[in-house]
Structure 1
Amino acid sequence: MRQKVIYSATLLVSSLLMSNTHAASFSCKAAKLKAEQKICYTLVLNDADVRLATTYQIVLHALPMGGRDAEKDQQFKWLKQRNACGSNTQCIQRAYQQRQQQLDLLLQERVLSHGPF
């Protein structure tokens, strides 16, 4: 049963990603920071941004109220870290990989393992 839930969550995330394949999770027209501009014009970073934003929203909505504020704080800290990369593609990509792993783990441990599935 648990594998079915994980598979369903993966399908949901995948379908959301496919619908937004070439659109960052923020307005590229309003992008002022070097990191944001790099994300808008680099497909692999753009895709990572959309995937992370989608996972983050799923986690945020599934967490209990007390956990949401803590996760929002973590996301804010992570954004500062990502933005400190400037236009360094490898640095931005590493930041996305690390944060995605954190969110995937949180989704697995705190959300999917406790859900009413």
Structure 2
Amino acid sequence: MTRLSIGFCILVFSVYSQAQAASFSCDRASLKAEKTICQRRSLNDADVKMATTYQIILHALPMGGRDQQKEIQWQWLKSRNACGANVPCLSKAYQQRQQQLDTIIQQRILNHGPF
């Protein structure tokens, strides 16, 4: 039942998040990477999906795991921003990070859970 509940939450967040804009304010976007993400629907959607998955993970992991994930996310953001306006680079960055986050959900949360 717990796996079903988490799966349902992920599905709801995924559907909800796809209707939203980027996970940051496009009005305040100042970096080339941010502006490109706001201009490209596929990147915008990838950003929202990644940010939603990341938030689910932060809420589900124990405190030590959260701190580690925050540091990993910070490093990832720096590498994403280094892509600048390079769309293939940004797409690859989001794809790789989403795979990492999906693995965390599968291996550390669904299989073991904080519950």
- Normalised by the size of structure 2, how large is the TM-score? 0.90
- State the one-letter code of the partner of 1:14: S
Q: CA RMSD in A?
A: 1.8
**1:81 aligns with one of 79, 82, 85:** 79
**1:70 to 2:68 alignment:** yes
Equivalence for 1:104: 102
Deviations for 1:19-78, whole angstroms, at most 9, x for unmatched residues?
A: 41xx00000111000000000010000000000000000001100001111100000000
Equivalence for 1:16: 16
Equivalence for 2:93: 95
- State the one-letter code of the partner of 1:28: C
* Identical counterparts, % of pairs: 59
- Normalised by the size of structure 1, how large is the TM-score? 0.89
1:102 and 1:44 map into 2 onto residues whose CA distance is 19
Q: Secondary structure at the match of 1:73?
A: helix
Query: Deviating runs (4+, > 6 A) in structure 1?
Result: none
2:14 and 2:71 map into 1 onto residues whose CA distance is 26
**2:27 aligns with one of 13, 29, 38:** 29
**1:56 aligns with one of 46, 54, 57:** 54
Equivalence for 1:114: 112
Give structure 2 stretches of 5+ with no counterpart.
none
1:3 and 1:67 map into 2 onto residues whose CA distance is 20
Number of equivalenced pairs: 115
Contact 1:39-1:45 within 8 A present in 2 as well? yes
Deviations for 1:90-112, whole angstroms, at most 9, x for unmatched residues?
A: 00000000000000000111111
